Amino acid sequence: MFSLIISIVSIALVVALAAATMYYGGDALTQGRSSAEASAYVTGAQQIGGAAVMHITTQPAPPAAVADLVTSGMMSGIPNVKSRSETNEWTLVPGAGPTTPRMLRINLAGAATGNQKLCDQINRNAGGTGMSAADGTVTELGALPYACVPGATGTDPQVFQFKY
């Protein structure tokens, strides 16, 4: 009889512990996913940016596209992140003189409203405060090394931009 009571009490404690974990851990788990996705964009952009800089210093002409970095042997493959395009389109944007840096861009996957947490996390990681840029121009990025900015129109997804 005593062991039956102990078993019932231990089952009740396990259920209470599981419920508390789900209640209090839910936000932490969701925020962890946003942080991991934000890190994936930054890490992928750092790899491509490093390969592009290496290409620029060793080749006579800058790369026209990210695929050129793979064909020239600077990268073994293109980093895969969640993007709007099925082909995972990273875009190289050449700098226009000494005042405009070279950039790497990719459209985020999904609807603009669904990406708000991810964009806020990317911008916090960069040292900003949420998504505050009015458009996707370089001047709106200021001193941030990378940022998530709104697309060209309200229905476009957000754009991840990385200076290299």
Domains of the chain: 28-163 (3.30.1690)
pLDDT of residue 30: 62
Look up the pTM and report it.
Answer: 0.72
Give the start-end residues of each E strand in the chain: 91-93, 103-107, 146-149, 159-163
The mean pLDDT values, 10 residues at a time, for the chain of 164 residues are: 86 87 68 81 92 89 88 89 67 78 83 76 78 47 79 72 87
Query: What CA–CA distance (Å, rounded) separates 48 from 35?
Result: 20
Pairing status of strand 146-149 against strand 91-93? unpaired
What's the chain's length in residues? 164
pLDDT of residue 46: 93
pLDDT of residue 155: 61
Q: Is 75 helix (H, G, I), strand (E, B) or coil?
A: coil
pLDDT of residue 33: 76
pLDDT of residue 31: 65
Q: In terms of Cα–Cα distance, which of 79, 164, 84 is closest to 118?
A: 84
